Amino acid sequence: MSLPSLLGVFAHPDDESLLAGGVLARHAAAGARTAVVTATWAADSPRAAELAGATAALGAGPPHMLGYADHRVPHSAPGRPRLCDAPLDEVVERLVGQLREFRPEVVVTHDAYGQLTGHPDHRHTHRVTVLAATAAGLEHLYPDAGAPWRPRAVYAATHPDSALEDLGPLLAGVGKSLLSVPDDQVTATVDVRPWLDRKWPAILAHRSEVSRERSLPGLLSRLPAETRDRVIGTEHFTLLHTHPAAAAPLARL
């Protein structure tokens, strides 16, 4: 089966594996070009090395890091502004450059809530990605960032209300919020169980997060394998927009 090239744009190391690791692995296994752009953490930080291990496990190649500081961890990128504090136009232009260089058919990013916990970096990465996906196709915007390219489709990784049976109590038990969406807002539901042999090692590659008590990788690592696989075995997405000239059927995940 021929699958479209896929670029994941996420806020932090580990978001790519948790939210779209199965889809990235599926596309890579089918021979599609895949890549990941991560907005925060410096390229010489320990989490960058973990991210490289995760993308290698997924078959997505070396990650591309914008290198801004995590909203809650200023030392994650010494001397750089936090992602949410950086000039919006600057961040959009840098992501436009990544889009024009990689030329993906499909882009996947965070949803407008910033996933279940509403992290500020997640929400801002969503906004930046939506802006950049349009700007990348306009030749008079950011002309120094490469030749125009517009993806055929942009999807937001999301969590429907019905998917919280296991995940909801897990997060609520450590005091985290649950910002899910109505099921009818989910455009694509992907069974990624055949690729859990890549997705789970990719999550485990984020060792610093696995060791934390309240992080999702840490919580998942302490679950029985059957429950864990049920939680991470399905990925959900909402189609945000498509290229006006894209022919039906839409670029599929």
Structural domain including 35 reads 6-242
Q: Please check whether residue 1 lies inside any domain of the structure.
A: no
pLDDT at residue 177, rounded to an integer: 85
Query: In whole angstroms, what is the distance from residue 142 CA to residue 118 CA?
Result: 30
Amino acid identity, position 83: L
| CATH assignment of the domain containing 202 | 3.40.50.10320
Other CB atoms within 10 A of residue 222 CB: 10
Tell me 74's DSSP state: G
- Can you give the pTM of this predicted structure? 0.95
Other CB atoms within 10 A of residue 225 CB: 9
Residue-by-residue pLDDT tens, the chain, 253 positions: 689 999 999 999 999 999 999 999 999 999 999 999 999 999 999 999 999 999 999 999 999 999 999 999 999 999 999 999 999 999 999 999 999 999 999 999 999 999 999 999 999 999 999 999 999 999 999 999 999 999 999 999 999 999 999 988 989 999 988 999 999 999 999 999 999 999 999 999 999 999 998 999 999 999 999 999 999 999 999 999 877 665 444 445 6
pLDDT at residue 184, rounded to an integer: 96
Q: Please check whether residue 131 lies inside any domain of the structure.
A: yes
Helix and strand numbers (H, E) in the chain are 9, 7
Per the structure, how many domains does the chain have? 1
Q: Please check whether residue 249 lies inside any domain of the structure.
A: no
Q: Please check whether residue 14 lies inside any domain of the structure.
A: yes
Q: Please check whether residue 88 lies inside any domain of the structure.
A: yes
- Distance set, CA 132 to CA 64, 73, 129, 198, 202 (Å): 16, 25, 5, 29, 27
Q: Please check whether residue 251 lies inside any domain of the structure.
A: no
Partners of 181 in the β-ladder: 160
pLDDT at residue 53, rounded to an integer: 98
Query: In whole angstroms, what is the distance from residue 134 CA to residue 150 CA?
Result: 7
Contact (CB, 8 A) for 154 and 109: yes
Q: Please check whether residue 250 lies inside any domain of the structure.
A: no
